[in-house]
Every structure is written in structure tokens, then in C-alpha cells.
Amino acid sequence: MQKHMSYLQKHPSITRSRVNNFINDNQWKDVNIQAVLYDMRVGGEPHVKLEVWSAPGQDRPTFKHAVKQHFKPAKVGQVFGPSWTTHWFRVTATIPESFAGKKALFMFDTNSEAMVWSADGEPILGLTGGNGGERHVDYLLAKCAAAKEPPRTFYVEMACNGLFGNGDYHVHPQDRAIYYRLSSAEIVAPNESAWELFHDLEVIVEMANRLSQDSPRSWQALTAANDIVNVFEHSDPATIEPAREIARRFLDCKASEATHSVFAIGNCHIDTAWLWPFAETKRKAARSWATQLYLMEDYPEYRFAASQAQQFQWLLENYPSLFKRVQKKAKDGQFVPIGGTWVEMDCNLPSGESLVRQFLLGQRFFKQHFGEYCDVFWLPDTFGYSSQLPQIVRLSGAKYFFTQKLSWNNINKFPHTTFRWIGLDGSHVLCHMSPAETYGAQCRPGELIDSVKRHKDIAYTNDSLYLYGNGDGGGGPLRAMLERLRRMQDVDGLPRVKQAHPRDFYKHVEENARELVSWKGELYFELHRGTYTSQSNNKRWNRQSEFLLRDAEMLCTVAKMRSRGDGFEYPSDEFTRLWRL
């Protein structure tokens, strides 16, 4: 008797299309999983009252100043701008009685960046509007609403810019005349079981798509996803739990002991200066880090790393209560200050003395405010690496180095992932470049699969570091990323994942790697060429400033010695301020 291949195996592309359409927000959203993600939603008065005050020009006023101003009625559909302006909303939200027993979220989408503030002036979390992958616009009003909830008043500080400034930076300079529309301001009740199923499916469907078709696990994933689609009926909520049971059976299969290990750490790389003014960088850090503190309350396993002492200093000066919360979470081990430098600096143009000052100022700050020096030099996004860095890193008290950019070389691919980098004097640091080849991973199965495929030193160490979270313009990890990561922590077909301090990864490699190769000299980056040549004035004034600071310090030292302690005070605070610039 002739045996025939199953329809699913004979035509897998049709089934893959089916399960992908089941989770996507597309033309099928009225009948797929998207149709049941929210049980209820209300907007407008009496449930949502909106008032707004627009700051003059490009002022970025404090909370205390803003709340004293005259607020006018606002409504959904209203536009605000132009670029770089700030608008403060006073929101009064009243959860309806019909939400009793349900979680209640406030959804506020300005299609720009924003910050939610409590009525007493505490920054709560950042918001990112629009329809991109960075979108998060929800703020928790009640975990379980009572039958009669009192009105809640809070504020939202709207910034008229996106994560990447204003306009498409690939095409033209920043646009100063962009206006942003308030597209939603409503209270919603999410269907939590439906959301759990949605996150299950995100993992299962991508495993079906990305695992090799030679892998039985790929077919198991596709079968499980297809079975879920068969069971689910959008008009019958009772079908969600049987669908979840199918997902659980698939996800409960554990990875083998010999599988690749991934050490995961959240981050939100923020360029101190790029497509926005310094004043906006200060707000980006506050928005991004407040969001991560907010998520840590629901995900105790979550670890988040942030570098650049300058951004911590701005937080201390402008958001002191938020800075104290960061310190507390750092003490608890969830918020990880890292890097050891004042900013994530360029490493091609600065002199050796400038590089030394980066570490001197950075390490002093982290020791003063967090009680310890950083032992991981953290530089995911720079345009090349001077051969003198290993020596300076070791002298600063650090001995590990993380970067990412070399994986983006467009001609000669760098041949290593985990290796010892040896400097001019023979000093060495343990270096690792995430084989996921990004510092902004999205917690997707495909990225974990790539962490194995692209690991160039897997014969010596079966471990890698995995950086996830929206970055460059800040933002950081989102709730959906943490949900997917929970599901992928120990599932057959993927590497085993655990949230960890980067230091734990490097120590593990030191203790378990069989042998590691060495790289001597400069790490040359082959992509962002011409960025210095086209900005020759920056090169000139940087070098001239270095010479002037050296001369001024030498002359002041001589003056102090000759004064014999009589009359001349060495201006150490002013020199510190100038080096920080």
C-alpha cells in the first residue's frame, strides 16, 4: 500500500502563511487572535477627560512649572507641534463599573515620545507612539478594577519627536515642521488569556519559520500552531484555553543539557548626541529608564544594563527621585550600571589622555553613586577601536570588553566572537561580540538561532551574550519582549536562555572556555567610512581642545607649585567640568 505525505508536510508554505496570518494585525484581524485581545474599551468623557498646556517655543519645562499653568480642553484627533516642542496633558481617567474584576489600562498614543507622570510629580514610564516595533502606549490604571473606582488624575509630557528625531534621517536632515496627532486616549480591558496565547504563538510560529525544515522540532512547531488555529474561534472565548493547552505541551519540552547557553541582558543604547539636542537626550534617558523600572516590578528575573555616566549625571540633576529608584534597583541587582566611561566615546580621534579621562571620570562616578567600579567596558556602538584601549581598560580596573559593530563590516568579516584582545603593551581583555549581531535584539527565536549559527568560536565556548531592547534613540525592552523571553528560556529547539549580569557571562567563559584565540592591535571597523573626513572641523577643534586643556593643566600645576600654598587655588572642579564636555 502506497503511503502519502501529509498535506501539512507536502505544502508547508500554505500552512505557514495560515498561521502567520492568524497572529498578524492585517486584513484578517476581525477573525484572528487580534479580534479577542481586548474585552472592552471606552474613550471620551466622562471616562477620559483631557486638558493640555503647550510650552512656548522649544522650552522643556519641569513638572512643577507645567502643572501651574492654564490647561485647555483637548481631544483625540488634535495635532501638536511643530518639531521639538513640548505639550503637557492633564488626564482624568474614570474606570467604568463594567470593568469590575478586570485589568484596566490607559492607552495614550501621541505618535511621538512621551512620559507619564503621577499627580505628585513622580515620573512613571515612557511612551512611544506610532505603529512601529517600538510602540508602547499603555499605562496600568488597575490590576483588578473595583465596581466603583475613583477618578485618577495624572499627567503626560508629550515631546514632539520620535525615537529617531524628526523625519527620515536616511533621506534628509531633521525636519523642524512636523506635527503629531493624538490618535488615541482610552481605557481598555485586555483579555489576559488571549494575550498569553498571542505570546505563545509568537514564539511557536517563528520557530516553525526559522528552524531548519530538516529539524523535527520545526514540524512540531508548525503542527502545534496549525492545531491552535483549528481549535480557536474568535466568537467563543472558551476556545482560548484549549488553544493554550496545545501551546503549553509544545513549550514544555525542555532543551538538552548540551545546548548552547545564552546570557541575556536588556539595554537601550542612547546616543548622547545624534539626531536630537542634548536637552532631549536628558529626557530620553529618563523616559527609557523609568520604563525599565516599571517593568521590573512585574518581571523580577529581568536584568537591564545602562552605560554612560553622563546620562546618569543628568538623571541625578533633573530627575533626582528617579535616580534614587535606579540606585535601589541597582542595589537589588536588576538595574546594572556598566561601562566605566563618561560617555560611549569615539575611539579613533581622541588622544590617549582623553581616553584615560573617559575612564577616570566614569569609574569615579559609578564608584561614588553605586558603590563599585565597572569591570565590563561597554561600547556597543562606535566606529573603530584603538590598539591602546586594552592597556587603558586594564588600568581603569576593568578586564572585560563588549562591542558589536565589527560584525557589521561590509568587506572583511571579523573572524572571532569571543577572544582575547591584546594591546600595544601586551595587556589583554576578554572580548565578546554578540553573535546575534545586534545590540537591539527583539527577543525572537530567530535571533537565538542566529546566536548559534553565527558564533565563530563555538568550538571553544558554547555560550554567548544577547543584548535586547530598542536602542540608539532609547526606548529599551518592551513587555512583549520579556514575555517571549520567558517562553524561550528552556525550550527544545532553541538555546537555553537566562537573564544575567554581563559579568556573570564573562566569568563563566573564563572558567569554562577550553582555549581562546588572541587578536593583537587595532580593531578596524569597515562600514562608517568618511564620517571624520567629512567633518574636518570636528577633528581640528577636538585636537585643539585637547592641547589647550593639557597646557592649562600644566600651567596651573606650575602656578600652584610656585605659589607655595599662598594665594593660588588649582581649579580642579573647572578642569573636571571641561573634560566632561
Please give the Cα distance from 256 to 252 (Å, whole number).
13
Tally the residues of the chain: 581
C-alpha closest to that of 495 among 460, 444, 424? 444
* Residues 345, 358 contacting (CB under 8 angstroms): yes
What one-character DSSP code corresponds to residue 231? H
Q: How far apart are CA 98 and CA 165, in angstroms?
A: 40
- Residues 453 and 449: their CA atoms lie apart, in Å, by 6
| Strand ranges across the sheet with 138-142 | 38-43, 184-190, 104-109, 138-142
Q: What's the half-sphere exposure (Cβ side, CA atoms, 13 Å) at 67?
A: 15
- DSSP secondary structure letters along 91-112: EEE---GGGTTS-EEEEEE-SS
Look up residue 440 and give its amino acid: G
DSSP code at position 402: E
Give the C-alpha separation, 99 to 188, whole Å.
9
- Find residue 153's DSSP bridge partners: 92
Distance CA 334, CA 297 (A): 10
Assess contact for 64 and 147: CB atoms under 8 A.
no
The three three-digit cell numbers of residue 128, written as one number:
512611544
The residues, ordered by sequence, that sit 6+ positions from 343 with a Cβ below 8 Å of its Cβ are 272, 308, 309, 310, 311, 358
CA distances from 526 to 383, 415, 434, 435 (A): 8, 13, 18, 18
3-class DSSP state for residue 224?
helix
Can you say how many angstroms the Cα of residue 40 is from the centroid of all Cα atoms in its chain? 30
Ramachandran class of 524: left when φ > 0, alpha when ψ lies in -120 to 50, beta otherwise:
beta
DSSP 475: -
CA angle (44 as vertex; 39, 47 as ends), nearest 5: 70
Pairing mode of beta strands 48-54, 304-306:
unpaired
Helices (H), 297-429: 309-318, 320-332, 352-370, 389-395
Q: Which residues are catalytic?
A: 381
Strands ordered across the beta sheet of 400-403: 376-378, 400-403, 428-433, 418-422, 518-520
Sign of the CA dihedral running 233, 235, 239, 244? positive
Q: Which three cell numbers stand for residue 331?
A: 542595589
